[in-house]
Structure 1
Amino acid sequence: MTRIEEFNALAPQRAEDDLLACCAVPRWAREVAAGRPYPDLAALLATAQAASARLTWPEVARALTAHPRIGQRPAGQRREDGWSRAEQSGLDAASARTRAAIAEANEAYERRFGHLFLVCAAGRSDTELLATARDRLAHDEATEREVVRGELAKIAALRIRKLLDGPA
């Protein structure tokens, strides 16, 4: 049985729970789980993307609470904690100076927008993450909310791939 077939065969609550690890919005998880059976990963990802585009700002804000700050990797043992640590691995070699600058950028961002700075950190270096945080401070609130929604969708898609690529 393929991983997509295994996902399709999950009990509804189990599928939703697995999807909540990808995006911590119950309605999103229900909507994506309800789209089963999926013929392939591309169809699942398309449904997830469409569901992400329909998230309200309060739902996005809720999802943000499930993510650590950039540079503050979670120590927990949940699957999503491990994913987050791997996604932020570009910071592993960051100097103390760069780490301090990222912490300052996080604080400035939170003061400006009132919520966590979210970026799909996978594959990005410490300097890229710092530059992105600083660049996004120039956005107006409406623009930044759309950027955050897009970053959340990227993270959800990445984690769905991990969910289906993980051990059976």
Structure 2
Amino acid sequence: MSLTLSEFNDLSQEDATAQLLTCCTSTSWAQTLASARPFADIDAMLVANDDAWNKAQTSEANLIEAFDGHPQIGNVDSLKEKYRNTQDSAAHEQSGANDAEDQVLEALAQGNQDYLDKFGFIFIVFATGKSAQQMLDLLLARLPNDRETELANAAAEQNKITRLRIQKLLGAA
């Protein structure tokens, strides 16, 4: 559902929070951003988003809540299904993996499991415009990091994803 900024500003706190939770599943972040209304324009909302996200990420629980809102990339069959179905949806965030070779998808599935096993949360990356190989390369580059570094990396990627989803929610992307 796309809203105008004016419509979003006019929502109740509860409804605005619910709409924001479709962009990022951190309850703390959504409530903080909904409370910052009204916004003069999308840029003001994105600045308020960054502020709300900076507050939310002071708690690891808020970060994990946001990360848990993403589907985990599972086995190779689900990866093939996920990426090849994006051909029907130009707006899909991971469309760069449409034609990924099976080897890359298998390595991506294994890498995602290795990442989850090591850090306790799924690999978060702003996938828009990236091929499966590029996502795999990023995953493999981040896998040697320590957990604190990866929480920060994932938080930064989460905010990029959230900003795009806010723009889509308000028909600005």
TM bucket by the smaller chain? Answer: 0.7 to 0.9
2:84 corresponding residue in structure 1: none
Is the aligned partner of 1:122 residue 2:128?
yes
1:111 corresponding residue in structure 2: 117
1:151 corresponding residue in structure 2: 157
Offset from partner CA, 1:10-68 (integer Å, 9 cap, x none):
12211110000111011111110111110010110111111111221111111111101
Amino acid at match of 2:167: R
Equivalences for 1:11-160 in 2 at 5 Å?
11-55=12-56, 56-70=59-73, 86-160=92-166
Is the aligned partner of 1:164 residue 2:170?
yes
Identity of aligned residues (%): 35
- RMSD, matched Cα: 2.0
2:85 corresponding residue in structure 1: none
In 1, the alpha carbon distance for the partners of 2:159 and 2:32 equals 14
Aligned residues: 156
Q: Give the structure-1-normalised TM-score.
A: 0.86
Runs (4 or more) in structure 1 with deviation over 2 Å come to 69-73
Secondary structure of the 1:139 match is coil
In 2, the alpha carbon distance for the partners of 1:100 and 1:6 equals 44
Shift of residue 94 of structure 1? Answer: 0.8
Alpha-carbon contact 1:94-1:126 (below 8 Å) kept: yes
Alpha-carbon contact 1:70-1:118 (below 8 Å) kept: no
In 2, the alpha carbon distance for the partners of 1:108 and 1:4 equals 41
In 1, the alpha carbon distance for the partners of 2:12 and 2:18 equals 10
Which segments of 5 or more consecutive residues in structure 2 lack a partner in the other structure? 82-88
Shift of residue 103 of structure 1? Answer: 0.3
Q: Give the structure-2-normalised TM-score.
A: 0.83
